[in-house]
Amino acid sequence: MISYVRARLAALRDEVEGQTLIEYALLAFLIAIVSILLLAAIGLDLAETFNEVEDSLGLGSPNVVDTPVGTDDQALPTSTGTINP
């Protein structure tokens, strides 16, 4: 019985399939972490670049508020199109 257990443990030590699977999983995990960090680092710069291209093409909104200060967001416009506070 003890010789059988020793033989099985020796066979398990010699198997490479489990090690290979773990190595591939660790490699995929490290690639995912590096990708996330890289995208997080360049994400804001990329967004600024897209905004600049959009503005130069005239497609973007100027992101300015054209309502007077103190205007209530919930106020309904009048028949003339103006908002009365």
83 assigned to some structural domain: no
Task: Please list, in sequence order, all residues whose beta carbon lies within 8 angstroms of the beta carbon of residue 72, skipping any fewer than 6 positions away.
Answer: 83, 85
SS3 37: helix
Count of structural domains within the chain: 1
Task: Please list, in sequence order, all residues whose beta carbon lies within 8 angstroms of the beta carbon of residue 71, skipping any fewer than 6 positions away.
Answer: 83, 85
pLDDT for the residue 47? 76
Residues of the domain holding 43: 28-54
Residue pair 80/66 in contact (Cβ under 8 Å)? The answer is: no
pLDDT for the residue 32? 96
70 assigned to some structural domain: no
Question: The whole model's pTM is what?
Answer: 0.39
40 assigned to some structural domain: yes
41 assigned to some structural domain: yes
| pLDDT band per the 50, 70, 90 thresholds, residue 66 | low
User: CA 23 to CA 33: how far, in whole Å?
Assistant: 15
Identity of the amino acid at 57: L
9-63: pLDDT as tens digits: 777 666 666 677 888 999 999 999 999 998 888 877 777 888 888 888 877 666 5
According to DSSP, residue 75 is labeled P
19 assigned to some structural domain: no
pLDDT for the residue 78? 64
